[in-house]
Amino acid sequence: MSGLNSLEKVLAILDLFSEDRLEWTPEQLMQELGYTRPTLYRYLKVLKDAGLLASLHGSGFTLGPRVVEMDYLLRQSDPLILCGQSQIEKLAGMIPCTALLVRWYGERILCVAAECSTPNPLSSYHRGRPMPITRGAIARSIIASLPKRQLVPFIATHRAELQAVGLGATEDEILERLRQVRKQGYTVAYGEVTPGVVGIAAPILDSSGVPLASICVTVAGNTIGSDRIEELGRAIQSSAAEISARLASPASVVPEPAAPPE
């Protein structure tokens, strides 16, 4: 961790919290990060005072209540959610399914909003849980839309995983398969993320054509045929284009006033 500034060192503490590791003791943090005890405790105090971390006497640190407050604010202000909520509601009304808005950042993708019209939600990755970046329709819709300068290094890093889902044995084969996905405008994956579930997704692009998110529908595979999949694919593609257009026009993204507290 040498060479990092103080802010980066504070953020490195937050980055350690994951689904696999929800609680850390100071001793574990020092061992993982290499911080001295005085430095670590200074950063922990800052994070705890800000509500970003919490701890009970004699226990380790967990994420704090400020995270929940910030999540509420995100729901009220995220342009993707503001532009896309009506679209996932519309798609969820077409067929019993789960419709999702999924954001891409860095090398992570995660659901930021969802609508379910089936008693049993057909997704293993609920809101806020990072998804695989090389498997499934959502990942493929985003990857296929990456500029080549980003796509080629991505393939080089993840070639084995992309080969495992049948995208090709060589870089050229993978590039060609992804070119076909991009040309079609939406992509379909069968049971790659959740067994028995068909995922249909299309990319949401920024004003320069770079993917920033995806809109997806997940449906039970035994309830849908190829004609219906194509119909949904075109509807999802249309929704993605509508969201992309609205995001490109900031004046059209106006947060609705929050409801007054009861």
List the CATH number of the domain containing 21.
1.10.10.10
- Select from 15, 35, 68 the last residue of a domain: 68
CA distance 163 to 178: 12
Q: Does 213 lie in the same domain as 83? A: yes
Please tell me the predicted confidence (pLDDT) of residue 192: 87
- Select from 40, 68, 96 the last residue of a domain: 68
CA distance 117 to 25: 41
Is residue 127 very low, low, confident or very high in pLDDT (cuts 50, 70, 90)?
confident
pLDDT of 172 > 80? The answer is yes
Minimal CA–CA distance to 87: which of 257, 251, 236?
236
In a domain, 261, yes or no: no
Provide the sign of the torsion angle of the four alpha carbons 243, 114, 63, 259, taken in this order: positive
Strand ranges, E, within 56-196: 61-63, 98-105, 108-116, 130-131, 187-190
Indicate the pTM of the whole model. Answer: 0.84
pLDDT per residue as tens digits for the range 57-110: 778 999 999 999 999 999 999 999 999 999 999 999 999 999 999 999 888 899
Is residue 134 within 8 Å of 161, Cβ to Cβ?
yes
Q: Taking residues 197-215, what's their average pLDDT? A: 94
- DSSP notation for 188-208: EEESSSSTTEEEEEEEEE-TT
Q: Does 111 lie in the same domain as 208? A: yes
Instruction: Residue 239: give the domain boundaries.
Output: 78-252
Please tell me the predicted confidence (pLDDT) of residue 196: 86
